[in-house]
Amino acid sequence: MPKIVFSTLCFVSMLISGCAFSTQVTNTPRSSIEQGLLITSLERGLARLDTKHLKGATVAVEFYGLTSDKDFAREFLTAWLQSNQVQIVTNPRAAQLRLKVFVPVFAVDQAQSSIGSPSFTVPFLGITIPKISLFKIVRQVAILPLKAIQSTKTVEISSLKVAPRSVIASMMNIQT
């Protein structure tokens, strides 16, 4: 009799433990989905910049942003300009033109919707019932407002060329 009870308890505990799962989270500041959405937004924003008048000229790039990703975005912009036959110099005095690029937002927003029951703990028993989703959708949207201002060495109001502000968005939906 004790063997049957012990076997039953072991079987029940294995069934209950089968409902548990673990996920591993990477230690990077951004997930791969967020990184991909941000790069896509950056590429779309740069594609809207008109660089025809910059070809062949020496340009000093000044990049301004509010997030920690601004260093990567500046280097990405510099490489993109160089691939479009723009000569980049680090010393603004040696440049024919100065290009100021403003990226006030470089982020990913996330929204979730689901149909099902949330996780809850059964009173007095202390058993936690996991979340059961019949349908779940996660929307991640990368937002990148981009504005570029070009000026000559001697800045005059008439020599400023302001590109229209572009707000670029990339979206990814995950449905389960």
Q: What are 94-123's pLDDT values in tens digits? A: 888 888 888 887 888 888 888 888 888 888
Asked if the model's pLDDT at residue 161 lies above 60, the reply is: no
What CA–CA distance (Å, rounded) separates 109 from 57? 38
Closest C-alpha to 143, from 98, 114, 111 = 111
Residue pair 141/37 in contact by the 8 Å Cβ criterion? yes
For residue 12, what are its two tokens? 């029940």
Domain with residues 29-108+141-171, CATH architecture: 3-Layer(aba) Sandwich (3.40)
Helices (H), 27-140: 32-47, 70-83
Note the maximum CA span of the chain: 96
Spatial CB neighbours of 175, under 8 Å, sequence gap ≥ 6? 135, 136, 137
Q: What is the mean pLDDT of residues 87-99?
A: 87
**What is the model's pTM?**
0.64
The torsion defined by the Cα of 84, 88, 92 and 95, in degrees rounded to 10, comes to -70
Task: Specify whether the CB–CB gap between 176 and 136 falls below 8 A.
Answer: yes
> Residues 2-25: pLDDT tens digits?
777 777 766 666 556 554 444 555
Q: Where are the domains of the chain?
A: 29-108+141-171
Q: Judge contact between 103 and 68, C-beta under 8 A.
A: no
